Amino acid sequence: MSKSEKQNEQPENYTSQSSALEESSAKIEPEDKWMIRECDTYKDEYKECTSFRGRFQQYFVYGETLDCNQWKKDYDNCCKWEENNDLKAAEALIQSEKKRRLERLRAHYRNDTWKKRESPPTDWDKPLPEWMAKRDENTYLAQKAKEIKEGKLENEKDGLCVII
- Report the alpha-carbon distance of residue 62 to residue 20 in Å, rounded: 55
pLDDT band at 39 (very low <50, low <70, confident <90, very high): very high
The reply to whether 64 falls in a domain is yes
In a domain, 91, yes or no: yes
**What is the pLDDT of the chain when averaged over all its residues?**
83
pLDDT digits (tens, 9 = 90+) for 110-119: 998 988 889 9
**Mean pLDDT on 25-33:** 73
| Three-class SS state of 13 | coil
Classify residue 9: in a domain, yes or no.
no
What average pLDDT does the segment 87-94 reach? Answer: 96
pLDDT, mean of residues 86-109 = 95
Any domain includes 115: no
CA distance 78 to 92: 9
Mean pLDDT of 20-36: 67
Total Cβ atoms within 10 A of residue 46: 20
Query: What does the pLDDT look like over 42-66, one tens digit per residue?
Result: 999 999 999 999 999 999 999 999 9
Q: Is pLDDT at 157 greater than 70 in this prediction?
A: no
Structurally, the chain folds into a number of domains equal to: 1
Structural domain including 86 reads: 30-110
Asked, for residue 52, whether it belongs to a domain, the answer is yes
Is the residue at 18 inside a domain?
no
Over residues 116-133, the pLDDT tens digits come to: 889 999 999 999 899 998
Residue 3 scores a pLDDT above 50: no
Per cent of the chain over pLDDT 70 is: 76
Q: What is residue 123's predicted lDDT score, i.e. its pLDDT?
A: 92
- pLDDT of residue 26 exceeding 90: no
94: in domain: yes
Burial class (CB in 10 A: 0-12, 13-18, 19+), 28: exposed
In a domain, residue 149? The reply is no
